Structure 1
Amino acid sequence: MPNPTHILDAVTAVGYIGKPVHVELDWDDDPEPFCRSGYVIGIVLPVKGVQKQAYLMVMSPGEDFPVEAYLEDIRSIRIADQMEGCGHD
């Protein structure tokens, strides 16, 4: 079920490609938000019959593979001043 409070659309998300970010994700069935820091290395757009939801591909330092941050699950996103941790500012 889409989150009516999501703050990011695909057009805006493109502006984050190549930038370091802190992303706070919020899921309906999880009481605590999940934070992720990394570089946005791409965006996957919805395609009828192939991919229903758009998401950012976020690559964190030291990880082998990017994480999928679905736009509808993003509670907040900001350009990071450093890549250590994820605060709840």
Structure 2
Amino acid sequence: MPNPSPALDAVTAVGYIGKPVHVELEWNDDPEPFCRSGYVIGIVLPVKGVQEQAYLMVMSPGEDFPVEAYLEDIRSIRIADQIEGFSHA
């Protein structure tokens, strides 16, 4: 299934660090997209022989650890107005 939004690259992804986001993820073998909301707390950049794909680390409400959202799997990403369970202070 083609990605309806422009590809998110590492340079653009850095702009989401510290922001509340709503991410829609899509995988080739799963017909239904998966949504995740939380704060982008970091980005892991690709390093040849160590980490081949860049991903965002998204911390969601109620979770103990961040979720890895690989840039190639992101169908859409937007800044969230409000995320339940997090303070925007």
Please state if 1:31 is matched with 2:31: yes
Cα separation, partners in 2 of 1:53 and 1:66, compared to 1, 3 Å: same
The runs of 4+ residues in structure 1 deviating greater than 3 Å are 3-6
**What residue identity is the alignment partner of 2:27?**
W
Taking only aligned residues, the RMSD between alpha carbons, in angstroms, comes to 1.4
**Offset at 1:7?**
2.2
- Stretches of structure 2 that go unaligned for 5 or more consecutive residues are 85-89
Aligned length: 82
Structure 1: runs of 5 or more not aligned: 85-89
CA distance in 1, matches of 2:2, 2:49: 23
Q: Percent identity?
A: 90
Secondary structure of 1:81's match? coil
Measure how far apart 1:4 and its partner are.
6.5
Q: Choose between structure 1 and 2: higher strand proportion.
A: 2
Higher relative contact order (CA 8 A, sep 6+): 1
User: 1:6-21 maps to which residues of 2 (within 5 A)?
Assistant: 7-21=7-21
Q: State the SS of the aligned residue for 1:65.
A: coil
The equivalent residue for 1:83 is 83
**TM-score when normalising by structure 1:** 0.87
